[in-house]
Amino acid sequence: MSSQDKEAQEDELLALASIYDEDEFKRADSAQGGETRICLELPQNFKIFVRGSPTECLQNSGYEYTICFLPPLVLNFELPPDYPSVSPPVFTLSSKWLSPTQLTALCKHLDNLWEENRGCVVLFAWMQFLKEETLAYLNITSPYELKLCHRENGQSRTSVFPLNAELDGCGAAGAATGQEEILDERAVQDVESLSSLIGEILDFDQAQQKKCFNSKMFLCSICFSEKLGSECMYFMKCRHIYCKSCLKDYFEIQIRDGQVHCLSCPEPKCSSVATPGQVKELVGEELFARYDRLLLQSSLDLMADVVYCPRPCCQTPVMQEPGCTMGICSSCNYAFCTLCKMSYHGVSPCKVTAVHSLEKRMDLRNEYQEADEATKIFLEQRYGKGGIRKALEELESKEWLEKNSRACPHCGIRVQKRDGCNQMICTGCREYFCWLCMGCLSRASPYTHFRDKSSPCFKRLY
């Protein structure tokens, strides 16, 4: 190696290390060479498209994904002793989403760039071409279709072409010509299958978007402080951004109050809801366990075929088979009657059915409360102590609910008003309604009901 070549190589490697981050350029430890990872700048709303395939995970007619980033092109190179005066760098070019045909076309152009600049360092020119001109050179536009192609020898190869790909002189879309392909040995497609490629593309895109978000500054709309993205969180649907500290306090208050369906975006009139993963990231284990339990319970309460184990120490949800009055707890194995909540009594008639109607329960209560000791014993023997107790408890509960709560006009769940205005939100179905007239309200502008002069609740918000 001449001193001039050695000096040129050192200067070039030092320059590249100063221009690019460690994620983009890494110098080899044992030789004059290294690795560059080149992420392309995609147009806005760039889409990739996948048609249905024989694989298990892709059985529909097709999928389309909007992405911001594609996995990088990887250029591994080694500088020969007589570079740059005589020989070009020895390299391989690999990618997960470009076909060997497309990579071959890029390798050929890198050779052409060397011929045009023979005797001069060329790595920076290669990297700039790959970063800035790859999409245009290969005629890649959105939507970009990923296909699974098959060679004649039976081996499969994943290749990627734009839906509107045109053949060009460089052979970038040469796989579609039907002519025999001459692939460059330096072109490496690093992918196992089409399904794994889709997963890697989406994972990389998500990771890069998070990295970009974490490095930017955002204004929290609650505390009006500017904070790094790494200290903020956004709602998936609406993309409204708040700092984690404010959202943490907001989530904790709602969960302690049992309002697990109210973890929505604080922006007025916004219906976006926090995901369980976001809630778990911000609140402690104890509060998240409460959130998870209440969320499950509220969902189960809306299911008509779910009953709870009557043992006070258990209370596990139990699925009730259609037409069957027996429930078996999966936790404590207690077999019980779903009507009277007592131990299952087989084909024997359930005594609680004799007092199942509201009128009969009221008659039984009045008769039992006014009866003497002998009559009470007779009634207990006839209906069973459990049946009488359950009838009385249900009647008292119903009377309390009728007096202290009202049924949601949408789902029927009982709602209690403790304080505040007359604009209500059902904790079960999130329906907006008026506490005075029990009419459903507009989700976008619920308070219009109280400003409408034709409404019976005009000026009666409080």
**Catalytic site residue from 262, 314, 350, 421:** 421
332 is catalytic: no
Q: State the sign of the Cα–Cα–Cα–Cα dihedral 390, 392, 396, 401.
A: positive
DSSP letter assigned to residue 318: E
Given the DSSP bridges, would you call strands 144-150 and 156-162 parallel, antiparallel or unpaired?
antiparallel
Q: Which of 334, 300, 339 is nearest to 319 (CA)?
A: 300
The span from the CA of 350 to the CA of 329, in Å, is 19
List residues bridging with 423 in a β-sheet: 434
DSSP letter assigned to residue 264: B
Cβ within 8 Å of residue 348, ≥6 positions away: none
The number of angstroms, rounded, from the C-alpha of 161 to the middle of its chain's C-alpha atoms is 29
Q: What radius of gyration do the chain's Cα atoms show?
A: 35
Q: Which of 85, 87, 170, 82 is nearest to 120 (CA)?
A: 85
Cβ within 8 Å of residue 443, ≥6 positions away: 269, 271, 432
Strands (E), 198-265: 217-219, 226-228, 232-234, 241-243
Strands (E), 312-405: 317-319, 326-328, 335-337
φ and ψ at residue 354, rounded to 5 degrees: -70, -20
| Tokens standing for residue 346 | 């087989």
Asked if 252 contacts 260 with a C-beta cutoff of 8 angstroms, the reply is no
List residues bridging with 241 in a β-sheet: 234
Asked if 190 contacts 96 with a C-beta cutoff of 8 angstroms, the reply is yes
Q: Report which secondary-structure segment, H or E, holds 9.
A: helix 3-19
Asked if 197 contacts 70 with a C-beta cutoff of 8 angstroms, the reply is no
Give the residue numbers annotated as catalytic, written as ranges: 421
